[in-house]
Structure 1
Amino acid sequence: MQLLVLRLDYRSSTTIESLQRQLRQPNSKLALQLPHIPLLSYENTAPLQLKTALEPIATQTAAPSFHTSDIGFSKEGAQFYLQIHPNEELDQLYSSLELAGHGFSNRADAQWQPYIPLIGDIPAPFWGPLFARLALEFNPLDGTVAALECWSVIGKRTTIEWSLFLDS
């Protein structure tokens, strides 16, 4: 599976990585994902063909900003995340990328909601304590998107296929 993501600026990434380390279980063997905003996923797609289709959009797009001040939790995947407040820049970028990639086998969500995953696969007894800890540690975050990336995901292993940096 190929996953199209937006990578965050350095300052935002270091803040999120710090939160991830604080939430990580001491005995966890799972690697933490790089801070990102998931966009679209594709099945059986050649990453370089996808890059060719999406590169014109990335080269013409200014780096969108984002703001997050809400913590979220999903029982599916037992995942904590930061909910991003919708803005026109992110919505337009998502729509453009979805349209440009329409020829590929896409698994688009019915209603895309931008978010930043923090940590997943949390055992149920830790949901409450970790949420309380996250609520104490997290402050609202403003940042910008630095790059569009394609990741290949096989099982729990992620490989970065390519990156397209957006104009600042």
Structure 2
Amino acid sequence: MQLLVLRLDYRSSIMIENLQRQLRQPNSKLALQLPHIPLLAYENTAPLQLKTTLEPIAQRTAALSLQSSDIGFSKDGERFYLQVHPTEALAEFYNSLKIAGQGFSVGADVQWQPQIPLIGNIPAPFWGPLFARLALEFNPLSGTGAALECWSVISNRTTIEWSLFLES
């Protein structure tokens, strides 16, 4: 599976990585994901063909301002995330990518909600304590979506295929 993600600027990434480290379970064997906003998923797609199709969009898109002040939790995947306040620019970027990538085999087509995943696969007894800890540690986040990346995900292993930096 290929996953398109919006990578965050350095300062925001450091803040999120610190939160991820504080939430990580001592016996966890899963690697933490790099701070990002998931955009679209594709099945059996050639990453370089996808890059060729989407590069013009990235080249004409300015870096995207992001704000997050809400913590979220999903029982599906037992994961915590930061809810990103949608902006018109972020929605337009997403829609442009979705339209341009229509010729590729799309993964599950669900209603997109911009969010930054923090940690997943949390056992039920830890949901409450981790949410309380996150609520104490998290401060509202302002940042920038700095790059469009394509990740190949196979059996919980992620490989970065390519990055396209947005205009600063």
| TM-score normalised by length of structure 2 | 0.99
Identify the residue that residue 127 of structure 1 maps to in structure 2: 127
Equivalent-residue separation in structure 1 for 2:108 and 2:134 (angstroms)? 29
Alignment of 1:147 onto 2:165:
no
Q: Which runs of 5+ in 2 are unaligned?
A: none
Equivalent-residue separation in structure 2 for 1:77 and 1:108 (angstroms)? 15
* Poorly superposed stretches of 4+, deviation over 4 Å: none
Equivalent-residue separation in structure 2 for 1:163 and 1:68 (angstroms)? 23
Using the aligned pairs only, state the percent identity: 80
Bigger shift: residues 37-46 or 104-113 = 104-113
Equivalent-residue separation in structure 2 for 1:53 and 1:166 (angstroms)? 15
Aligned residues: 168
What are the within-5 Å matches in structure 2 for residues 59-98 of structure 1? 59-98=59-98
Equivalent-residue separation in structure 2 for 1:88 and 1:76 (angstroms)? 28
Identify the residue that residue 106 of structure 1 maps to in structure 2: 106
Alignment of 1:42 onto 2:33:
no
Q: CA deviation at 1:110?
A: 3.5
Alignment of 1:16 onto 2:19:
no
AA aligned to 1:102 is: Q
Partner SS, residue 107 of structure 1: coil
CA, structure 1 residues 98+108, in 2 after alignment: closer, same or farther (shift >3 Å)?
farther
- Indicate the RMSD between aligned Cα atoms, in angstroms: 0.7
